[in-house]
């Protein structure tokens, strides 16, 4: 009887001890995944697709899928224990595959933004890219990185590493390009994006993330009353096909002046040729003449209904501001709302559009032996 009693007490002590031990990073992350995460579990091109979640000490959460290296959700905690999802996205892998807008939340490459007529040359050799935004090539071509299943490694609860080897002449780009992207959600409520790439043949590279934001929350209506500030004194005008003309024009006394906090919609419908070309804002802002070693403050946005504020920092020379002008109510987001006209905006850190054909723009050439390295972050406060 005493032996049985001692055994029972020993087992009880072991059980209590086990319950008190911290769970592993993997189990902790898996338990906190959103309820739609199972709809991402599949195989594409023979590779496993799934959801990954990052969470910081303040309970802010970022949800990714390695299909396209996409940011699916960015959840800001509120005082009543609910969340505001400030990134629009879908609740299943099928929705991303069939979407009429291919770039929601995606990691973009090899070349973010447009290249005129899909043509460029390096050392006298001409290259022809796929034309997927006639008459130009956009965001890497018909099968850009938004359709790639990235190799994913969750380093810890706050860090996700994505990697991909883009083979020589994929979508017409020269060189075997090895890419690594690290997404980290730190305890200062910053989503940090670190990009690295190397090549075995001279090529062009311009990587970015194409998250669509609504700081009032997904499905909350248009973003025209968001307050926006862009720390740029100039922008690059475009022609009717959204290719830069080569000019760098001051924003002062134009609808493109966001050097002070201004509502996105304050001037968006003015009879301006550049607004007509972009059907609103779809333009590159000149932050600096060349990339910097340290990140600079590029922009600040505040949601008018929630007062959630996002600051954008980058080492890149340019920032593409897109006001959701081609959103056409053809897709349904996670919460059921449609992707209605101008219900999200993008601030894409980058080199300038069509740089391979614009000698006056900062170069996007990557040579063998060199390392492409750039960093950006979104900082949130509420």
What is the pLDDT at residue 8? Answer: 40
Task: Name 192's bridge partners.
Answer: 184, 377
Catalogue the active-site residues. Answer: 210, 348
Please report, rounded to a whole number, the percentage of residues in the chain having pLDDT higher than 90. Answer: 90
Q: How many CA atoms lie within 13 A of 123 on its CB side?
A: 8
The pTM (predicted TM-score) of the whole model is 0.91
What is the pLDDT at residue 25? Answer: 38
What is the pLDDT at residue 81? Answer: 76
Q: CB of 204 within 8 A of CB of 111?
A: yes
Across the chain, what does the average pLDDT equal? Answer: 93
What is the pLDDT at residue 28? Answer: 43
Q: CB of 27 within 8 A of CB of 44?
A: no
* Angle at alpha carbon of residue 105, lines to 144 and 294, rounded to 5°: 90
Q: What is the pLDDT confidence band of residue 29, given thresholds at 50, 70 and 90? A: very low
> What SS3 class is residue 268?
coil
Please report, rounded to a whole number, the percentage of residues in the chain having pLDDT higher than 70. Answer: 92
Region 278-295 average pLDDT: 97
Phi, psi of 13 (to 5 degrees): -65, -40
The percent helix, strand, coil of the chain (3-state, each to 5) is 15, 35, 50
Q: What is the pLDDT confidence band of residue 79, given thresholds at 50, 70 and 90? A: confident
Rounded-to-10 torsion of CA 83, 297, 346, 69: -70
What is the pLDDT at residue 18? Answer: 39
**Distance (Å, whole) CA 152 – CA 155:** 9
pLDDT of 15 > 70? The answer is no
pLDDT of 24 > 70? The answer is no
Q: What is the pLDDT confidence band of residue 12, given thresholds at 50, 70 and 90? A: very low
Nearest alpha-carbon partner for 364 in 374, 349, 348, 351: 351
pLDDT of 49 > 60? The answer is yes
Tokens describing residue 321: 């501001």
* More reliable by pLDDT, 214 or 25: 214
Burial code of 222-234, b = ≥16 C-beta within 10 A, e = fewer? bbbebbbbbbbeb
């Amino acid at each position: 009887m005493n032996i049985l009693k001692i055994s029972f007490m020993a087992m009880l002590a072991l059980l209590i001890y086990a319950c008190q031990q911290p769970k592993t990073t993997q189990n902790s992350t898996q338990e906190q995944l959103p309820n739609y995460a199972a709809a991402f579990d599949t195989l594409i091109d023979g590779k496993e697709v799934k959801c990954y979640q990052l969470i910081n000490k303040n309970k802010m959460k970022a949800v990714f899928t390695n299909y396209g290296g996409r940011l699916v959700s960015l959840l800001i905690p509120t005082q009543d224990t609910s969340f505001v999802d400030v990134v629009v996205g879908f609740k299943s892998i099928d929705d991303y595959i069939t979407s009429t807008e291919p770039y929601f939340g995606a990691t973009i490459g090899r070349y973010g933004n447009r290249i005129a007529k899909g043509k460029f040359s390096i050392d006298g050799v001409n290259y022809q890219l796929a034309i997927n935004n006639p008459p130009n090539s956009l965001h890497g071509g018909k099968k850009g990185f938004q359709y790639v299943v990235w190799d994913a490694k969750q380093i810890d609860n706050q860090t996700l590493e994505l990697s991909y080897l883009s083979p020589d002449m994929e979508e017409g780009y020269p060189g075997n390009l090895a890419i690594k992207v690290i997404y980290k959600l730190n305890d200062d409520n910053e989503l940090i994006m670190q990009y690295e790439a190397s090549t075995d043949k001279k090529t062009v590279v311009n990587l970015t993330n194409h998250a669509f934001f609504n700081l009032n929350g997904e499905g909350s209506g248009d973003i025209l009353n968001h307050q926006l500030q862009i720390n740029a004194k100039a922008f690059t005008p475009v022609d009717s096909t959204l290719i830069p003309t080569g000019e760098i024009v001051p924003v002062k006394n134009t609808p493109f002046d966001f050097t002070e906090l201004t509502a996105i919609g304050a001037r968006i419908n003015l009879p301006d040729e550049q607004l007509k070309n972009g059907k609103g804002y779809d333009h590159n802002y000149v932050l600096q003449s060349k990339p910097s070693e340290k990140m600079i403050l590029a922009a600040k946005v505040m949601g008018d209904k929630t007062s959630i504020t996002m600051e954008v920092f980058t080492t890149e020379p340019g920032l593409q501001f897109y006001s959701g002008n081609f959103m056409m109510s053809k897709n349904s987001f996670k919460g059921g709302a449609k992707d209605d006209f101008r219900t999200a905006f993008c601030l894409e850190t980058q080199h300038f559009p069509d740089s391979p054909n614009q000698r006056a723009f900062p170069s996007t050439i990557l040579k063998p032996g060199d390392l492409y390295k750039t960093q950006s972050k979104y900082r949130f406060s509420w």
